Amino acid sequence: MTRDLTSGNPMKLVISFAAPLLFGVLFQQLYSFVDMFEMIARTAVALLLVPAIGFTGACFANPAAWTLADLFLFPCYFHIMRSLRGKVVPA
């Protein structure tokens, strides 16, 4: 779908053009937030488990990072799916 940006209400045209860009920024912020959770989990494992149990503690870094990231992603996913329920037309 193409849209003529040279005619019509300028404010409405700018908002309709900028909306996808703003959604992209929002999703990038979400990714950065989840990445921060991963970094916190890896740091916690490095500081707590590695000195206590050595290499076995280091092996827990990746699962701990993904688990902590998912603690944020799962509620976001279910909130979005609940808000989209009834709005999306099945194909």
Predicted TM-score of the model (pTM): 0.59
Mean pLDDT over all residues of the chain? 85
The range of the structural domain enclosing residue 44 comes to 10-84
Examine residue 42 and state whether it is found in any structural domain, yes or no: yes
| Residue at 27 is within a domain | yes
Q: Are 81 and 59 contacting, i.e. CB atoms less than 8 angstroms apart?
A: no
Q: What is the token pair recorded at 84?
A: 């989209």
pLDDT at 87 over 80: no
Summarize pLDDT for 27-42 with one digit per residue, the tens: 898 888 888 888 988 8
Structurally, the chain folds into a number of domains equal to 1
Reported as a single tens digit per residue, the pLDDT across 59-68 is 888 888 888 8
Mean pLDDT, rounded, for 36-52: 88
In a domain, 1, yes or no: no
Give the per-residue pLDDT at 58: 87
- Report d(CA 56, CA 63) in Å as an integer: 12
